[in-house]
Structure 1
């Protein structure tokens, strides 16, 4: 399912990526936005494959997949049918692994045109970078990211108590949120410089997302098994 908010994200990302395309090929004119949109579609195809991997593993483990959606923040997959910590861990880990494999594939395809100022090279490089970012970001140990669900499952499996896993993953995620904001703002100041506005914006967005992330999982910890929800700022 493609939600209406996806179209908002696609339009914004197209506008943001257009200057990069214009720098590589200044004579494209209106074609600049066509190439930028091609990158956005490529990115969301990667997001779809990430979510499809969640859904396929969930079904393979005997769960019913209720929803697979592309949204403003990336996408999410919801499944039900019970299951234990191993199921939750396997369903969560396959998403980031899919993106890291895609990043490797894009990077390998980029090598023959490396050094060429070409549209193909730009798209391949951008595909490698964006998939690496999505894969690594989703491995951060904070709910509702995949890394948070993996930590939740590990604690759940070790203690036999799912609620303890949810609480632990939430607090670790909040610690990561603080670390991200400190890195974005504090490190440049400590070195006597000024933090980049772009870095600060991303740091605050990611930190705020990780800080707010545990609220819903904490509320539902006693009611239902976790459903993977992967949100990917790009």
Structure 2
């Protein structure tokens, strides 16, 4: 399944792929509405933030490219922006890349200030746009330099302090974030208070797994790799992707060519997958030497997430031979369905010993849908719902009935889904298969009562 969210905008800036998630527009618009009720001002604000954040990330990308990196992509999302590149950098080069983003913003803001002074706008909206550009590039740039991970200032602080003082850098982030929260609450800037409260909490969590790395003699540098790698996987499993990435890059920098560096690249690929950056995951795994040494399951997951299903399938089948687990089997069946190898997909799903039959039946329902046997798919989803009571299963049963032309059953199962707590009203509003079912008077009334207006 492609991990890219629906309605994502993707384009290229030269050699740099850019991905803009819907959450970026939503959060930017909400932030704009907090300061203005004029739709023109909010619209200009969204455009200004888009251009400014993109310029900021381009600054990171150009610096990284100048230091010999390949750029896997730029991602704009609810939390701002991220630039992905394909290799670890030395400590001070990494600091330079982190500082390049805010510096680019300051330069861009300075250009806007010069325009404002020497070519003053003649319209009110021109004045508004220039003020917004200066505020975002100067104001946000200064905030972004605060020593709080995951802001650039936090990365710079960690780089300046070095691997032997990482806990000091995290404590600095906790203390700074706490000070900003206190100021924000004093001036009733609740959004900033919530944001830095989250940053401070993340730093506090990272302190639980972070450990300072003492400088080692060159002959002992390899001793750091197994520990860093193990702690990287621990951090990733605990949900601390940034710490896992740091440890993965550390392991890679200390690794010998071959098995050690390949293991570090596997960790970095899974960090990228967790962050939703399939292209970076593929880039890491395709640098494994030789490529055949890459873990088949990792390759299959990365290719699937990147939408390269044909390239993913052979690796998924190879993984199935080596590690026959539920995750590997599910992946293999999904890809076999994509390839229309439906008999093989069904056989693979039925032959595996599942801990819960619901997982098997969900996959068998996907096979039935691919065959056009919507009645069988509806029966499977209904059985799964009766066993577990998950609203999503009732919704899928309604979809399958609708696609089978069974309108009455579709309406009944859609009602059961709503009663069980199904609440993805946007999906329901846009689902063409359920157009007739959701227009039924009783269901339309239910939806109207919930105030969603999707009937």
TM-score of the pair, normalised by structure 2: 0.40
Distance in 2, matches of 1:182 and 1:141, equals 16
Distance in 2, matches of 1:166 and 1:10, equals 32
Query: Offset of 1:34 from its aligned partner?
Result: 3.7
Query: Offset of 1:172 from its aligned partner?
Result: 0.8
Backbone CA RMSD of aligned residues:
2.8
Higher RCO (CA-CA < 8 Å; seq separation 6+) = 1
Distance in 1, matches of 2:89 and 2:133, equals 34
Query: Offset of 1:107 from its aligned partner?
Result: 2.1
Instruction: Describe how 1:82-101 pairs up with structure 2 within 5 A.
Output: 82-101=88-107
Distance in 2, matches of 1:42 and 1:115, equals 16
Is 1:15 paired with 2:33? yes
Instruction: Describe how 1:79-228 pairs up with structure 2 within 5 A.
Output: 79-111=85-117, 118-156=124-162, 162=163, 164-185=164-185, 195-197=186-188, 199-213=189-203, 215=206, 216=240, 217-224=242-249
Moved more, 145-154 or 108-117: 108-117
User: Quick one: structure 1 residues 38 and 166, their matched pair in 2 at CA, closer, same or farther if it must change by over 3 Å?
Assistant: same
Query: Offset of 1:88 from its aligned partner?
Result: 0.4
Contact 1:113 1:121 in 2 (8 A): no
Total equivalences in the alignment: 200
Distance in 2, matches of 1:80 and 1:210, equals 28
Residue 26 of structure 1: aligned partner? none
Distance in 1, matches of 2:81 and 2:50, equals 9
Instruction: Describe how 1:56-95 pairs up with structure 2 within 5 A.
Output: 56-95=62-101
Q: Deviations over 1:15-40 (max 9, x none)?
A: 34543xxxxxxxxxxxx424431231
Q: Which runs of 5+ in 1 are unaligned?
A: 20-31, 157-161, 186-194, 230-234
Distance in 1, matches of 2:121 and 2:65, equals 43
Residue 47 of structure 2: aligned partner? 41
Contact 1:154 1:165 in 2 (8 A): no
Rg (Cα) greater in structure = 2
Query: Offset of 1:213 from its aligned partner?
Result: 4.6
Q: Deviations over 1:104-156 (max 9, x none)?
A: 22222223577988111111111101211221111111211111111111122
Contact 1:96 1:135 in 2 (8 A): yes
Moved more, 32-41 or 59-68: 32-41
Contact 1:141 1:147 in 2 (8 A): yes
Contact 1:166 1:221 in 2 (8 A): no
Q: Which runs of 5+ in 2 are unaligned?
A: 1-18, 207-239, 251-267, 276-455
Moved more, 212-221 or 86-95: 212-221
Secondary structure class of the residue paired with 1:81:
coil
User: Quick one: structure 1 residues 114 and 196, their matched pair in 2 at CA, closer, same or farther if it must change by over 3 Å?
Assistant: farther
Residue 188 of structure 1: aligned partner? none
Instruction: Describe how 1:49-60 pairs up with structure 2 within 5 A.
Output: 49-60=55-66
